[in-house]
Structure 1
Amino acid sequence: MRLRLRQFRPRTGPRQHRVVQPGQPLRHTTLRAPEPIGMLLGDHDGLNRLAGLFSFAAYSRHTIVHVPLRDSLPPDEGVGELVDLVLAHHTLGLRPSAWPELRRKLTDGTPLTVHTDEARTDRDSTAWRERHERTDNRDELRHATHARTFFLFGSRDVFAGTAMSFAHAAGWGPLQKGVAKGCSTLMTALPALVQPPGGGHPLEVLVCFKPYPPYAHFRRPGR
């Protein structure tokens, strides 16, 4: 997949960071953080580009991927505050508390075009899912919510697995019943979120497909 991005090189103290954003906003995709259930609601374009962004993040260990979503067009369903999404490898050591300062410095970005390798992403996703079925697997998505931003910290393989989940949602969402009338449909959930200690309702982020209004423009594939 070809992704058009904007690249930033903000500096905090002696350290320079690399941050990328989508070149164009995902206008019809929104995210609500899990409290304990969150929702990512998107159209085909948004879910498809998120698949590409997770794939890019998987193989970019020194890059922060920032997906501005809190200013997207608000959906007509869901409860909770809209938040942005940030992806980073856990080895990068990004602290959520440091993000607001970094975000303020995201000015004067430069255009960047990258290509993702779907075959490699699928291969690493399959390897991760096979390991994830074992009870001793610890390759999970750590997460935090801070400053209206939902952070996901992971490894190459868990990001690859998440990319394939979004690709499935983007590809099969338009085929589901009711979507042509504007109904949303649950496609998957973010995999392997680290759960807080103490039990209770598990934290989840549901991934749903929904075409953007007016719905008269939407045609299910094959129709």
Structure 2
Amino acid sequence: MEFKVIRPAHPLVHAVLVDHDRHLDAYLDDDAARRIGGLWTLAASSPRSLIHLPMRANQAPSLELPEDGTRQLDLVLLHHSLQFAPARWKEVRRRLGPGRPKTVTLPDSGHTGEAVIDHEARHYLENRDLFHQHLHAETLFMTGSANVFRETARQFHDVAQNGPGYVPIHPSYPHFCTELHSNDGILGNAREIHIEYCDQWDS
């Protein structure tokens, strides 16, 4: 089976994905959140592609992370129909070259709104629009349907748009954040991901 690997042309410098065993934390600035939202949308329309987001070597944000947050991960997004075996990833990654620049046009992030999402249907037993995760070679694989990628891309755009101007109204909520949460009916064999805006970076 043929597939292609898509990576951002410029590194996602201020983006970190941390494995906490029971859940995952993503720390992003507005640029990284906006670009990941675009790549999330691209995963919905590119069923023959692996969307690779190299992040595991990035400098962590200059804030106090939980003590168990010691392992940083790369991220790969893929459509479930691709049936890619994560065990193959280390070899595929090793063989990746510089690639060829290519420009893609993505739908306006505002077109993915609450009105087009059937939240009740997400909780039906027949729901197949779910994320599944695998962890291999320091990489988190997020596998899902076109619908679930398309519907959840807005959460990254929310972080990009609302994070920089966020004014805390309660000490318990000092940062703008959102989650890919089990209560949302989008996680199958997958852990929750806490997505937090962060503007405190050492580089």
Q: Same fold (TM over 0.5)?
A: yes
Equivalent position of 2:195 in the other structure:
207
Partners of 1:21 and 1:75 in 2: CA distance: 22
CA positional deviation for 1:108: 3.2
**Following TM superposition, by how much is the alpha carbon of 1:18 offset from its aligned partner in structure 2, in angstroms?**
0.5
RMSD: 2.5
Name whichever of 130-139 and 143-152 sits farther off.
Answer: 130-139
Specify the code of the residue in structure 1 equivalent to 2:196.
C
SS of residue in 2 equivalent to 1:174: coil
Task: Establish whether residue 37 from structure 1 lines up as the match of residue 23 from structure 2.
Answer: yes
The within-5 A match list for 1:74-223 is 74-76=60-62, 77-78=64-65, 79-118=69-108, 122=112, 126-127=116-117, 129=119, 131-134=121-124, 136-177=126-167, 185-191=175-181, 192-195=186-189, 203-213=191-201
CA distance in 1, matches of 2:91, 2:154: 32
- In structure 1, how many angstroms separate the alpha carbons of the residues matched to 2:110 and 2:202? 37
Deviations 1:138-159 (A, max 9, x none): 3110101111000000011100
Structure 1 unmatched ranges of 5 or more: 1-14, 197-202, 216-223
Work out whether residues 184 and 210 of structure 1, in 8 Å CA contact, stay in contact via their aligned partners in 2: no
The size of the alignment, in residue pairs, is 191
Change (3 A) 1:162 1:148: same
CA 1:174–1:119 in 2, change beyond 3 Å: closer, same or farther? Answer: closer
Mark the CA change 1:105 to 1:117 in structure 2 (over 3 Å): closer, same or farther: same
Q: Residue 86 of structure 1 aligns to which amino acid in structure 2?
A: V
User: Structure 2: which 5+ runs fail to align?
Assistant: none
Could you tell me the TM-score, scaled by structure 2's length?
Answer: 0.84
Deviation at 1:134, TM superposition (A): 3.9
1:49 paired residue among 32, 35, 42:
35
Alpha-carbon distance between aligned partners in 1 of 2:120 and 2:110, rounded to the nearest angstrom: 16
Please report the TM-score for the alignment, with normalisation by the length of structure 1: 0.77
Greater per-residue strand proportion: 1
- Rounded Cα–Cα distance in structure 1 between residues aligned with 2:26 and 2:34: 13
> CA–CA distance in 1 between the matches of 2:71 and 2:55?
11
The question of 1:59 aligning with 2:45 is answered yes
Q: Which amino acid aligns with 1:208?
A: E
CA contact (8 A) 1:67 1:86 kept: yes
Whichever residue aligns with residue 53 of structure 1, its letter is L
Q: Which fold has the larger relative contact order, with Cα–Cα distance below 8 Å and residues 6 or more apart in sequence? A: 2
Partner in structure 2 of residue 19 of structure 1? 5
Output the CA distance in 2 between the equivalents of 1:125 and 1:146: 36
The answer (yes or no) to whether the contact 2:134–2:142 under 8 Å persists in 1 is yes
Corresponding residue for 1:220?
Answer: none
- For residues 86 and 184 of structure 1, do their structure 2 counterparts lie closer, same or farther at Cα, with a shift above 3 Å needed? farther
User: Counterpart of 1:112 in 2: which secondary structure?
Assistant: coil
Contact 1:125–1:157 (CA<8 Å) still a contact in 2? no
